[in-house]
Amino acid sequence: MAGVEIVGLTKEYNVDGKTFTALRNVSITLPEGSFTVIVGKSGCGKTTLLRLLAGLETQTAGNISILDGGTAQRNRIGIVFQEHRLMPWLTVRENMAFSFAKRQDHGSAEYIVSHYLQVLGLEQFQNAYPSQLSGGMAQRVALGRTLCYDPDIILMDEPFGALDYFTRKRMQQEIVDIFLMQKKTVLFVTHDVTEAVYLGQNIIVMDAGEVVKELSVKLEYHRNAVSTEFMAIQSEILQSLSAR
């Protein structure tokens, strides 16, 4: 397992000759084994932060350190994207085994994939192709693919954004179950304040590329979204966003 320390992270893009700052001097810490949620409006820089952490982009300034027992070292980072991004030519089982290639021997790869197929309730669909799956199921396969990779840190970029209300609720519960089971460091990005409070132990509110508020949520999992405490936290987040 590992945590993450982000110090003074800045990301600028050049758009039509003008400099656009997507992230401005962001400093946050993701404690080891914690569930952190970044919440904010569209374009607030949350996805950019995630992409920088995943190594898909390079920061303009600042530093990202992966902390493992206090020593900065390279650890495995898995990402679940907004769209499922499954390989259309691979079956559910093959997609979930995608990260194994040469790294793992065949036997243990089979065992790990079978385990997560069962955990995510996908056993019946293991030979189906992505085009034959519903949106929720495809996103579950994408989650399974990342879990099979056995990352130290899991990044999730609005993975349930395109799902209907009921599927989304079920997936949120499943994520919490998996987190409680594995205790990996999770960074989850969403624009849905209710989702943020339902999932996060730590919530980071972002706006215009900056961190505007950090909260710690002490409520027990699984959380009741209509409880007074839940709604109070939700309201606090909304106020911090609307104040700007």
- Give the whole-angstrom CA distance, residue 71 versus residue 56: 23
Q: Does 89 bind another protein (CB under 8 A)?
A: yes
Given its phi and psi angles, is residue 11 left (phi above 0), alpha (psi -120 to 50 degrees) or beta?
A: beta
Binders of another protein among residues 5 to 64 (CB under 8 A) are 54-56
Residue 58 or residue 228: which is nearer to another protein going by CB? 58
Q: Does 149 bind another protein (CB under 8 A)?
A: yes
Contact 34, 3 (CB under 8 A): yes
Positions of E strands within the chain? 3-15, 18-30, 35-40, 61-68, 71-72, 77-80, 153-157, 185-190, 202-207, 210-216
Name the minimum Å distance from CB 91 to another protein.
Answer: 8
**Kind of pairing, strands 202-207 and 153-157?**
unpaired
Q: Does 88 bind another protein (CB under 8 A)?
A: yes
- Give the whole-angstrom CA distance, residue 90 versus residue 166: 27
Binding test (CB under 8 A) with another protein, winner from 99, 139, 190, 202? 99
Residue 54 or residue 109: which is nearer to another protein going by CB? 54
Q: Does 141 bind another protein (CB under 8 A)?
A: no
Binding footprint of another protein, residue count (CB under 8 A):
20
Residue 96 or residue 197: which is nearer to another protein going by CB? 96
Binding test (CB under 8 A) with another protein, winner from 2, 26, 39, 77? 77
| Kind and range of the H or E run holding 214 | strand 210-216
Residues lying near another protein in the complex (CB under 8 A) are found at: 54-56, 77-79, 81, 83, 85, 87-90, 98-99, 101, 129-131, 149
